[in-house]
């Protein structure tokens, strides 16, 4: 059985490795990852998942503040806040968006 940390690290690899070739063509630009989480920012499980995602990225050589920019938005369980955060994240034009929680996918697709 796969542990959550291993699974999240695998997601990190899939999220970043996929567009890596395209990112390498953008000279002078730091890749941007948008993260939209449905839980509140003080949610322990949500924080743990984000930490595991960051660790997985770091193991692949992607470090926030050095060669990667990460924009995290916490919806706090409010559908209105999630919609607002989804619009904001999309307007930042990230290279990839990680959606955490079933409520966040539909607003991101709109």
- Please tell me the distance from the alpha carbon of residue 88 to that of residue 45, in angstroms, as a whole number: 24
Residue 23 lies in a domain: no
Domain membership flag for residue 86? yes
pTM of the full predicted structure?
0.72
Q: Provide the residue range defining the domain that includes 69.
A: 4-9+31-109
80 pLDDT exceeds 90? yes
Tell me the DSSP string of the chain. Answer: ---HHHHHHHHHHHHHHTTHHHHHTSTT---EEEEEESS-TT-HHHHHHHHHHHHHHHHTT--BTTTBEEEEEE-TT-HHHHHHHHHHHHHT--SEEEEESHHHHHHHH-
Structural domain contains residue 87: yes
- With a CB cutoff of 8 Å and minimum separation 6, the contacts of 22 are 95
Residues 6+ apart with CB under 8 A from 5: 52, 55
Residue 17 belongs to some domain of the structure: no
Is residue 71 assigned to a domain?
A: yes
15: in domain: no
CB proximity list for 92: less than 8 A, separation 6 or greater:
32, 34, 71
| Residue 19 lies inside a defined structural domain of this protein | no
Confidence grade of residue 5 (pLDDT, cut at 50, 70, 90): low
pLDDT in tens, 16-75: 444 444 444 456 789 999 999 999 999 999 999 999 999 999 999 999 999 999 999 998
Residue 24 lies in a domain: no
Given this model, what pLDDT does residue 22 score? Answer: 46
* Residue 109: band (very low, low, confident or very high) from pLDDT cuts 50, 70, 90: confident
């Amino acid at each position: 059985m796969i542990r959550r940390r291993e699974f999240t690290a695998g997601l990190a690899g899939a999220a970043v490795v996929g567009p890596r070739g395209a990112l390498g063509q953008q000279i002078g630009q730091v890749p941007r990852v948008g993260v939209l989480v449905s839980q509140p920012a003080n949610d322990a499980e949500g924080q743990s998942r984000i930490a595991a995602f960051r660790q997985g990225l770091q193991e692949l050589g992607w470090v926030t503040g050095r060669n990667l920019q990460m924009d995290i938005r916490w919806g706090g369980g409010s559908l209105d806040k999630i919609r607002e955060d989804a619009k904001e994240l999309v307007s930042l034009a990230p290279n990839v968006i990680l959606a955490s929680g079933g409520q966040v996918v539909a607003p991101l697709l709109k």
